[in-house]
Amino acid sequence: MKPSIDRIAHWAAARSIFGASLAISRYGPKMPELEPRLLPGKRISIGPKGLVFRDASLLMAIEKGLAMPELGPVFRNPLCALRSICALRRIARLYDQSKISPNNLSALLRAGLESLAVFGNHDPASRSLFCDESDELVDFRLDGYGSLAWLRLCPEGVFSATSETPSETPSVILTFSSPEVAFDAILRGMDQLGALATGKVLLQGKIPLMEKIGYLSRCVLGRVPVPVT
């Protein structure tokens, strides 16, 4: 099921939760994969069972940290719902600036890239930016650590984010000079001209592609909420 235009931001938020859950499971104690599904009636389910939000409630849950899921699914699968809620709390903690680590950054970045991929795949204006691009891989790195996450643009023009090391050579490498710079850039965006010139980030490879991705990410930042910590 593809999201209608008015549900793209909600779907992007749900996918970013999913992306973070996958990334966290790679480095920490396993947590439920919070794979989302679009449901009729402007509802989205998060995770295997038990957690269903109205679109607006999902955004509120992310932004305010508190929103009521539908009670029926919770009562039918209380344990599952509880595990998913705990996982959501754990994801929210990623956004706490006092706990920056490469692993957390990796999960945060994956969350952001999932959002970006949703817009790149489903928002007509965003899609049009990339009509001439295909088969590209963007490697996001942290200086002194290595790759945090990747964004892939497939030959069919479909975006996907991944935390698994790809076999292909990247078309662009964006390297954050420090965890703080990465945290700031992922959550708040960055001065794309100044950051490069001052060495906060290093950009190598297909710069025009990264310019487009950067532009899209700035558009997405304002449309998909992130937890306030």
Partner 1 sequence: MKRDRSDQLFKRALKAVPGGIYGHVAPAAGLPRHFPHFCDRAQGCGFTDVDGNEWLDFMCGFGSILHGYNHPEIEEAVARQREKGSVFNQPAEIMVDLAEALLERIEFADWAVFAKNGSDLTTWAIRVARESTKRPLIVKAKGAYHGVDAWCDPGLGGRIPEDRSSVLEFEWNDLEALSSLFSRNEGRIAAVILTPYHHAAFAPSELPAPGFWKGVEDLCRRHGSLLVLDDVRCGGRLSEGGSHRYFGFVPDLSVYSKALGNGYAISACVGREDFRKPSMDVFLTGSCWNDALAMTAALKSLELSGRGKVADAVLEKGNRLCTGLEQAASQAGQSLRMTGPASMPYPSFEDDESLFKIQKFCRLCAEEGIYFHPHHNWFLGNAHDDESINRAIGVAEKAMDRMSDEVS
Q: How far apart are CA 177 and CA 25, in angstroms?
A: 25
Is 168 a residue that touches partner 1 (CB under 8 A)?
no
Is 197 a residue that touches partner 1 (CB under 8 A)?
yes
Q: How far apart are CA 67 and CA 53, in angstroms?
A: 8
Q: Smallest gap, in angstroms, from Cβ of residue 34 to partner 1?
A: 32
Residue number, 96 or 191, with CB nearest to partner 1: 191
Q: How far apart are CA 54 and CA 56, in angstroms?
A: 6
Strand pairing category for 172-176 and 136-142 = parallel
**Six-digit token string for 21:** 């859950």
Is 133 a residue that touches partner 1 (CB under 8 A)?
no
Is 96 a residue that touches partner 1 (CB under 8 A)?
no
Is 215 a residue that touches partner 1 (CB under 8 A)?
yes
Residue number, 19 or 170, with CB nearest to partner 1: 170
Is 154 a residue that touches partner 1 (CB under 8 A)?
no
Residue number, 103 or 192, with CB nearest to partner 1: 192
For the residues of 105-143, what is the DSSP string, one character each? HHHHHHHHHHHHHHHHHH-HHHHHHTTT--SEEEEEEET
Is 193 a residue that touches partner 1 (CB under 8 A)?
yes
Residues that bind partner 1 (CB under 8 A): 129, 169-172, 191-194, 196-199, 202-208, 211-212, 215
